[in-house]
Amino acid sequence: RTRLAIPVEPLADDSFEVDVLGISGVPLLCAALAAGSDGMPEVQISLNSAGMLLAVVKSSLQLLNAQGTLFGTLARSGDAGDRFTLRDPRGRSLLTLLPGDDAGEVKMISQIGARQVERASMIRRAPGGRLPAEHYEIVVSPGVDAVLVLACFLALVVLALPGRGR
Q: SS in 3 state form for the chain?
A: CEEEEEECHHHHCCCEEEEEEECCCCEEEEEEEEECCCCCEEEEEEECCCCCEEEEEECCCEEEECCCCEEEEEEEECCCCCEEEEECCCCCEEEEEEECCCCCCEEEEEEECCEEEEEEEEEEECCECCECCCEEEEEECCCCCHHHHHHHHHHHHHHHCCCCCC
Whole-number pLDDT of residue 166: 40
Report the percent of the chain where pLDDT is more than 90. 66
Is the pLDDT at 160 greater than 50? The verdict is yes
Quote the pLDDT of residue 147: 96
Give the pLDDT band of residue 163 (cuts 50, 70, 90).
low
Pairing of strands 83-87, 135-140: unpaired
Q: Is pLDDT at 142 greater than 80 in this prediction? A: yes
pLDDT grade, residue 17 (50/70/90)?
very high
Q: Give the pLDDT score at 162.
A: 55
Is 24's pLDDT higher than 90?
no
| pLDDT-derived band at 80, boundaries 50, 70, 90 | low
Q: Per residue in 93-133, pLDDT tens?
A: 999 999 887 777 899 999 888 888 999 999 998 887 777 78
pTM comes to: 0.91
Average pLDDT (5-18) is 92
pLDDT at 37 over 80: yes
Say if residue 46's pLDDT is above 60: yes
User: Is pLDDT at 137 greater than 90 in this prediction?
Assistant: yes
